[in-house]
Amino acid sequence: MTDETISKAGDGTSTAPRIEVLLVGMNGDLRGKMIPLSAEDKVWKNTVRLPSSTQSLDIWGDDNDDITGISLTLGDPDGICMPDKSSLTTLPWGPTGSKQVMATMHTLSGEPHYICPRAILARVLQNYAERGLTPVVATELEFYLVEPDFRKTGKPTPPNALVMNGEVEGFQLYDMRATAALEDYLDTVRRYCDDMGLPADATTAEFGPGQFEVNLLHKPNAMAAADDCIYLKRVVDFAARRHGLKATCMAKPYGDQAGSGLHVHASILDRDGNNILDAKGGDSVRLKSVTAGMLKTMQEAQLIFAPFANSYRRFQPGSFAPDKIDWGFGHRGTAVRIPDSSGPAARIEHRVAGADANPHLLLAAILGGMLLGLDETLDPGPVTTPDSAPDKQQILTHDFLTAVDRFCASAFIRDTFGAEYQRIYGETKRKEAITYLRTVSSFDYQTYLPRI
């Protein structure tokens, strides 16, 4: 496909420029309205409305009014889509001049709605602001490219460009032949990111066939960092469409290949712009304490890091996806890694979440845990090194329903996300977990039916 073809490709026949007003849903999905650019003033006058229940839809798009009580029970009332002008950017796959902007759901009385993930993250960031602190955040997103025939075949297959002699040859980690094979696609991703002003840095081939990672640079604005991650997911999706492929952030699309993660790097600045996690060559007490805060809340928040049934297939022993609640200096097998403990780059890397996590809820959970370690000095316990690991380590669950139960019972989740959001999110995920458990799979039929 040529650049000219790519630039002309679209999802419809319209060539009229537009502005898309986007809301982040519970599952990290984007819903919203497409408004002609000629009527853009409606956006900035805060007259764009959608039902508040838009942000409580489950993975199938059901509003679950019997769980939430905010849809038909109340007459499915509108909320106001309040645009965040700092997130305004171009829509490079749309008609020339098109734009997109992130919005926060507000009630009709003007309050940020408790159902909105951006509003939840904003509350956590307000807690930092009240302490005179600013989180600095960067994300690393992994994803797979697959052929678009998965709906017909029932399973994903790697891009044809990677197939040699009838099969994909071995692991492709950092393999420049893999990036060369999909260079046209990756060039489109880069062009879209540049056009939108996304701070995309390195792009690498990862373990799995057709798996790539794009790193976003650090930002002293966690809301903008979460928005950028959502925008990046849009970019890799729409770029894939232009090249006849499908991009997926599914945590584990192949049972025998690496899962896709969403790693978060975070540090904290004081009012003078100093990194308060900088150990200055000494004992990294504060770094350890914020690490302990994240470890302490990790089991309760796992449902945020792993929000779907498929997410739990990623937590496998011996993989780079951590299954233990541990930490280490520079250790890429731990749940929390400290890449640097001294200097301006002193920070933590949270390595638990899958690529399927909602970036706004993910940052709310991570930064909320770090706050516990700022307000008091906590001990993360023994460090994991390449030569040794602590005895009797706590583990992350491999069970979706267990994660739901822990989330619903957590005081930390209630305080960070709000009691109503805890209830709605938890019970919506419980419905999904029970539906999953009730589904008899091909594994059951192939393994048990002939033998039992």
Domain end, chosen from 72, 91, 114, is at 114
- Tens digit of each residue's pLDDT (9 = 90 or more) over 342-352: 999 999 999 99
Rounded to an integer, the average pLDDT of 276-291 is 95
Most confident of 121-135, 304-318, 379-393: 121-135
Alpha-carbon distances, residue 224 vs 84, 136, 139 (angstroms): 10, 10, 11
Higher pLDDT, 8 or 446: 446
What's the rounded Cα separation, in Å, for the pair 314 and 179?
A: 24
Q: Is residue 122 part of a domain?
A: no
Q: Give me the DSSP letters along 211-274.
A: EEEEEE--BS-HHHHHHHHHHHHHHHHHHHHHTT-EEE--S-SSTTS---BEEEEEEEE-TTS-
Taken in order 408, 76, 20, 31, the sign of the CA dihedral is positive
Query: Residue 9 pLDDT more than 90?
Result: no
Given this model, what pLDDT does residue 393 score? 86
Q: Does 311 share its domain with 214?
A: yes
Alpha-carbon distances, residue 394 vs 55, 315, 367, 397, 404 (angstroms): 33, 14, 21, 10, 18
410 closest CA partner among 296, 292, 308, 263 = 296
Q: Does 245 share its domain with 104?
A: no
Q: Does 174 share its domain with 215?
A: yes
As a whole-number percent, the residues of the chain with pLDDT over 90 amount to 84
Q: Does 23 share its domain with 52?
A: yes
Rg of the chain over CA atoms, in angstroms? Answer: 22
Given this model, what pLDDT does residue 387 score? 79
Q: Is residue 311 part of a domain?
A: yes
- Tens digit of each residue's pLDDT (9 = 90 or more) over 16-43: 999 999 999 999 999 999 999 999 999 9
Looking at this protein, which amino acid is placed at residue 198? Answer: L
Is residue 432 very low, low, confident or very high in pLDDT (cuts 50, 70, 90)?
A: very high
Domain total of the chain = 2
Q: Does 266 share its domain with 147?
A: yes
**Structural domain for 28, as ranges:** 3-114
Sort strands 89-90 and 78-83 into parallel, antiparallel or unpaired. Answer: unpaired
Chain centroid offset of residue 292 CA: 22
The CATH code of the domain that includes 415 is 3.30.590.10
Query: Residue 443 pLDDT more than 60?
Result: yes
Q: Is residue 312 part of a domain?
A: yes
As a whole-number percent, the residues of the chain with pLDDT over 70 amount to 95
23 closest CA partner among 106, 86, 104 = 104
Q: Is residue 7 part of a domain?
A: yes
The H-or-E segment that residue 337 falls in is strand 336-340
Q: Does 159 share its domain with 101?
A: no
Please count the CA atoms within 13 angstroms of the CA of 55 that sit on its side-chain side: 29
- Quick one: angle between helices 117-130 and 359-375, nearest 10? 20
Given this model, what pLDDT does residue 177 score? 86
Query: Residue 127 pLDDT more than 70?
Result: yes
Given this model, what pLDDT does residue 153 score? 87
Query: Residue 13 pLDDT more than 70?
Result: no
Given a contact cutoff of 8 angstroms between Cβ atoms, the answer to whether 408 and 417 are in contact is no
- Tens digit of each residue's pLDDT (9 = 90 or more) over 360-396: 999 999 999 999 999 999 999 999 988 778 878 899 9
Q: Is residue 225 part of a domain?
A: yes
Q: Does 38 share its domain with 159?
A: no
User: Mean pLDDT lowest for which of 145-154, 311-320, 371-380?
Assistant: 311-320
Is residue 8 very low, low, confident or very high in pLDDT (cuts 50, 70, 90)?
A: very low
Model pTM greater than 0.85? yes
Query: Residue 223 pLDDT more than 80?
Result: yes
Query: Residue 213 pLDDT more than 70?
Result: yes
Work out the mean pLDDT of the chain and round it to a whole number.
93
The H-or-E segment that residue 294 falls in is helix 285-297
- Tens digit of each residue's pLDDT (9 = 90 or more) over 37-91: 999 999 999 999 999 999 999 999 999 999 999 999 999 999 999 999 999 999 9
Q: Does 103 share its domain with 145?
A: no
- Burial of residue 221 (number of CB atoms within 10 Å: 0-12, 13-18, 19+): middle
Which tokens belong to 102?
A: 């992130």
Given a contact cutoff of 8 angstroms between Cβ atoms, the answer to whether 331 and 337 are in contact is yes
The CATH code of the domain that includes 52 is 3.10.20.70
User: Mean pLDDT lowest for which of 116-130, 314-328, 336-350?
Assistant: 314-328
Q: Does 95 share its domain with 232?
A: no
Is residue 7 very low, low, confident or very high in pLDDT (cuts 50, 70, 90)?
A: very low
Chain centroid offset of residue 215 CA: 13
- Quick one: angle between helices 117-130 and 222-242, nearest 10? 150
Q: Does 275 share its domain with 363?
A: yes
Given this model, what pLDDT does residue 11 score? 47
Q: Does 348 share its domain with 204?
A: yes
The H-or-E segment that residue 26 falls in is none
Rounded to an integer, the average pLDDT of 122-142 is 98
Given this model, what pLDDT does residue 170 score? 63
Rounded to an integer, the average pLDDT of 118-146 is 98
Q: Does 166 share its domain with 271?
A: yes
Q: Is residue 452 part of a domain?
A: no
Q: Is residue 364 part of a domain?
A: yes
Q: Is residue 450 part of a domain?
A: no
Domain end, chosen from 88, 114, 140, is at 114
Domain end, chosen from 59, 86, 114, is at 114
